[in-house]
Amino acid sequence: MLVAIAGLLALVTGGAVAIGYTATVVVLLFGTVAISLVKANRAGSAVDQS
């Protein structure tokens, strides 16, 4: 019984870590893309103004 509880706990913890890791990667990826878009947009605006 204890082994089953420990196994379940390990599974839940591992799942939480995996979800957290995936979420972090997604946020970093979206952040990088957003920054690239903003930089491109600013560069485009600067070109339009001159």
Q: Of 3, 27, 23, nearest to 15 (Cα)?
A: 23
Residue 38: its pLDDT value, please? 92
* CB atoms inside a 10 Å sphere around CB 20: 10
pLDDT along the chain (50 residues), means of 10: 92 93 96 93 73
Residue 49: its pLDDT value, please? 64
Whether this model's pTM surpasses 0.85: no
* CB atoms inside a 10 Å sphere around CB 6: 10
d(CA 4, CA 19): 22
d(CA 46, CA 38): 12
